[in-house]
Structure 1
Amino acid sequence: MRVPVVVQDVPAPSPAPYRPSPPVTTTIVAVRTALPAHRYAQDDLTEAIGDLCLAPGADRALLRRLHASAGVRTRHLALPIERYAGLSDFGRSNDAWMAAGLALGEEALTAALGDAGIEPADIDLLVCTSITGIAAPSLDARLAGRLGLRPDVKRLPVFGLGCVAGAAGLARVHDYLRGHPGGTAVLLSVELCSLTLQRHDDSAANLVAGALFGDGVAALIAQAGSAAASAGAGPSVIATRSHLYPDTEHLLGWDIGADGFRVVIDAGVPDIVRGHFGTHVRAFLAEHGLAVDDIGAWVCHPGGPAVLSAVADSLGLPGDALEVSRHSLATAGNMSSASVLHILETIHACRRPEPGTWGLVAAMGPGFCSELVLIRW
């Protein structure tokens, strides 16, 4: 006799509830700036730059007005001012950029590593940005052996972002670290703007550049996850946003020719900033439940007095909100991508915000484009 088999339905075990991994935190653990030893008062540079750019006997009234209104009191130059007359072609200027850039890059990164208590061999990624010279092998490759970086260190040389690269470089470092918990990344900005000054060029753009730009190198070290736990660590990166402005490619950048990098600076840049920048910042902050008034530390690239005024107008900022940016411009000039790192260093070292303070790193550059990085102490 066949005994019937009874099959009972056994309920399947309930799946474990989905628990997403917490986001990896990127923390800025050190920022250091290295400025060339050759420091000059703005008044002492005016006539010397006129000798380089203007024909003998030319009217210097415009040159003097630009220097007086640039918001710059002192600047650091890669070379003594008397040596610039001997930079007769792009090759000589670029050789000077490479020599000074390597020395200052080593100085800035060594200082940042010391502040963070990190060994060179701990670096997993080195992003090196510059708009003022070119090299192959790139500066990062040349620095790796000098500094003792691992042979398998990841390197990312960046050219073309210009002034925006300090903020954009921090954003891309954050993107990398989000996928590499426990990783350590470095952003190195090498900007020796004086070496791009065009001799015998009396264009308004070249004269503005000669009045505004300074030289500097900055190194930022960031870590992801538990590796960043430190009482002296800086702010954490919360979010980033990039923005390209359509049909504005002509406003800012280089015309590159036999004599090297001929600057393009359109007078319409402040108008673009005043008309659009505030809208993009407010929309970005709103996505994170914030408003302009919630930002306690503004780390804004000092493109020049007119650009800083346009930023303040577009956001309705109080007069002292961009004080550190104006101070950086006054004491070191516009150092392209190194400037926002110089400002961040100053804020963290001299005016360290209270824990919980929100900050915004903001810069603009060729494209025309802007980059925003939301940070919190």
Structure 2
Amino acid sequence: MPTPVGLIALATASPPHELPQAEVAQAAREIFRDRFPQFERMAPVFDTAGIRTRQSVMPIEWFFEPRGWPERTQAYLAGAVDLFEQAARGALDEAGLTGADVDVIVTVSSTGIATPSLEARAMDRLGFRPDAARVPVFGLGCAGGATGLALAARLARAEPGCTVLFVTVELCTLAFRMDQPSKADIVATALFGDGAAACVLRAGEDGFARVQGVAEHTWPDTLDIMGWRVDPQGLGVIFARAIPPFAREHLRPAMDEMLSSKGLGVADVDRFVCHPGGMKVIEALEGSLELGQGALDHERQVLADHGNMSAPTVLYVLDRARRSGLPRRSVLTALGPGFTASTVTLSAA
């Protein structure tokens, strides 16, 4: 048996600007109705998304003006480093550690470009050692919370005794676009928010949970399902195929395969901790995994309070699940561009 990796601490961080869904819907109407003739036909997505409010690094007025790469990047660097610090500090405080205790820093973010990367920009703020290993990862999208946690666990297991800090930051709202709106842009405006989460891991220790196994499944010929397009004005969202029906049809066989590699089946899992990509995605996950309608209650609550924050969102769900008491075995899972399903099997300490 591989050495279990203890999930020692978990913290989340949200930016300061609250975006009530009703206000976002009205703002979107003002921005898009003259640029996108089908807006009113799509407007109900703001009501059916299952979101009450979201958080953003920028106030809602910021989005009324055209923004290009320089302004979006400036907002990303300022907001992402602040959220990185808040989430990392929260996790380190919970673990009783400081930045100087961290041996490896895994950073996952796909909503902006930072070179030097976010952990380098936060080194002085958090007191990371000069010899700390830095592992920035780009391109995982919504799967990044699960895949990043899996990577951090693998690194912790590879070097017992080392402390691994995993931080994921996503500022999805900075991709809100008004220059050439599409159906995908309207859906993104109705769904996405900003947030960050951080975890501390160490091999051989209990923490509040242990990572028992990790697995991924990437479906062939699915590059068009989800991703970014790179335009002169910034990143633009790609939803070329509907995700909920794909998840409903294809997730279960992939989950069976990933779990069987660990000697498990769906019936052996007491709780799935899922990335809530949207209300229809949640319903598709419940149907595909035969969980029963309403089983993913924490997922619905996180979606309602924060929207889809991409990678950090599943860790917000895990945080709620652990506060209500993790069962004996959980599987944390997220879907993201690739198109990929990522899983982390957890046992309660």
How far 1:24 moved relative to its partner? 2.1
Which of 130, 137, 160 is residue 116 of structure 2 equivalent to? Answer: 137
- Post-superposition offset of 1:71: 1.2
The answer as to 2:202 corresponding to 1:223 is yes
- Cα offsets for 1:315-337 (capped at 9, x unmatched): 11122321111111111000000
The equivalent residue for 1:364 is 335
- Distance apart, 1:63 and its partner CA: 4.0
Is the partner of 2:122 in helix, strand or coil?
A: helix
Where does the alignment leave 5 or more consecutive residues of structure 2 unmatched?
Answer: none
More displaced stretch, 289-298 vs 313-322: 289-298
1:254 is aligned to 2:228: yes
- Read off the aligned partner of 1:113 and give its amino acid letter: L
Please say if 1:194 is aligned against 2:173: yes
User: Closer, same or farther in 2 for the Cα pair 1:212/1:69, shift >3 Å?
Assistant: same
Deviation at residue 160 of structure 1 after TM alignment? 0.6
Opposite residue 251 of structure 1, the aligned amino acid is: I
TM-superposed deviation, 1:67: 0.4
Match of 2:286 in 1: 312
Structure 2 match to 1:212: 191
Query: What code does the residue aligned with 1:202 have?
Result: P
Q: Which amino acid aligns with 2:20?
A: A
Question: Highest Rg: 1 or 2?
Answer: 1
Counting aligned pairs with the same residue, the percent is 36
Q: Deviations over 1:84-142 (max 9, x none)?
A: 22452121011101101111111111111111101211111111111110011111110
Kept in 2: contact 1:138–1:157 (CA 8 A): yes
Q: Show CA shifts across 1:196-233 (max 9, x none).
A: 111233310000000001110111111112xx35xxx2
Q: Does 1:321 align with 2:257?
A: no
The aligned residue for residue 157 of structure 1 is 136
Match of 1:352 in 2: 325
**In structure 2, how many angstroms separate the alpha carbons of the residues matched to 1:57 and 1:129?**
33
> 1:352 corresponds to which letter in structure 2?
G
**Alpha carbons of 1:54 and 1:137: their partners in 2 closer, same or farther (altered >3 Å)?**
farther
**Within the alignment, does 1:376 sit opposite 2:347 as a pair?**
yes
- Aligned-residue CA RMSD in angstroms? 1.6
Alpha carbons 1:168, 1:371 under 8 Å: kept: yes
Mapped pair 1:107 → 2:86:
yes
Count of aligned residue pairs for this structure pair: 348
Contact 2:32 2:39 in 1 (8 A): no
TM-score normalised over the length of structure 2: 0.95
Contact 2:36 2:181 (C-alpha < 8 Å) held by counterparts: no
C-alpha separation in 2, matches of 1:87 and 1:37: 22
Say whether 1:338 aligns with 2:347: no
Q: Does 1:64 align with 2:43?
A: yes
The correspondence for 2:240, drawn from 243, 260, 266, is 266
Task: State the alpha-carbon separation in 2 of the partners of residues 157 and 284 from structure 1.
Answer: 26
> What amino acid is aligned across from residue 310 of structure 2 in structure 1?
S
Tell me what 2:61 maps to.
Answer: 82
| TM-score normalised over the length of structure 1 | 0.88
Report the AA paired with residue 193 of structure 1.
C
**What is residue 126 of structure 2 aligned with on the other side?**
147
Q: 1:291 aligns with which of 232, 252, 265?
A: 265
CA distance in 1, matches of 2:176, 2:36: 20
Q: Is the 8 A contact 2:166 2:198 kept in 1?
A: yes
Matched residues in 1 for 2:320 and 2:82: separation? 22
Instruction: Report the alpha carbon displacement of residue 288 of structure 1 after superposing the two structures with TM.
Output: 3.4
Give 1:119's match in structure 2, choosing from 95, 98, 103. 98
Task: Measure, in 1, the Cα distance between the counterparts of 2:285 and 2:266.
Answer: 12
Q: What is the CA-CA distance between 1:57 and the residue it aligns to?
A: 9.3
Structure 2 counterpart SS, 1:285: helix
In the alignment, structure 1 segments of 5+ residues that lack a partner are 1-21
